[in-house]
Chain A
């Protein structure tokens, strides 16, 4: 069966492949993920659960001078008890070659649902943090980071 319409992602991929074939792009320019790729990745991580707003905070710089080393901190409101704790924190980026950044699996022994790390960002883009709680609920937040110089090398 032929589909009449292409999604934006497919169109961009096709356009990118065409440009590569024509030698128009520099050889090291990777295909970048986009919002749809991140949505897909989140669906794979969460299954049927739809992330809600609230409970999770994401600290990132508004402007990053270098995309090679962008600090981020995720804080989730949770008592971190056996009955009620954060099971996982996923961090994803919408404009990198791959959407995944990191996943933290926490336990009540963590005491506090707060993690910090540093990531690479290829360009200005949205970064998402998704927290999965012990009761199966998920919470998400998105923040934009403006990147002056990309961090994926090349």
Chain B
């Protein structure tokens, strides 16, 4: 379950920068039936959290209506150099993580 995250590596203090996140995930809705007629159990990413030097920027709660391979964009106010951490939570209990560095001048 890889993810591609795009955001500027440098920014001026006070800039509002766009963060784009593409996560590889089937986002199985739990509404579909397989070839054997049984419901395919729900398995989606149900939560995504972005923190900036330990402080939460945003959290997104996903429902099964989110498309497979969710592609999200949101914004972040660049205030200081440091780390932007992304975490996403799977229905199976696993948590994936990615970190990007940002230099603020």
Partner of A104, one of B32, B56, B60, B64: B60
Tell me if A143 is interfacial: C-beta within 8 Å of chain B: no
Partner of B64, one of A69, A70, A80, A98: A98
Tell me if B55 is interfacial: C-beta within 8 Å of chain A: yes
Distance, CA A101 to CA B77, complexed state (A): 26
Distance, CA A40 to CA B46, complexed state (A): 21
Q: Is the interface of B mostly helix, strand, loop or mixed?
A: strand
Tell me if A106 is interfacial: C-beta within 8 Å of chain B: yes
Tell me if A119 is interfacial: C-beta within 8 Å of chain B: yes
Residues of A within 8 A of B16 (CB): 111-112
Distance, CA A117 to CA B67, complexed state (A): 9
Partner of A115, one of B31, B74, B77: B74
Q: How far is the CB of A118 from chain B (nearest CB, A)?
A: 4
| Given A69-B67, A117-B70, 7 extra CB contacts under 8 A | A73-B73, A97-B31, A102-B60, A117-B73, A119-B67, A120-B64, A151-B67
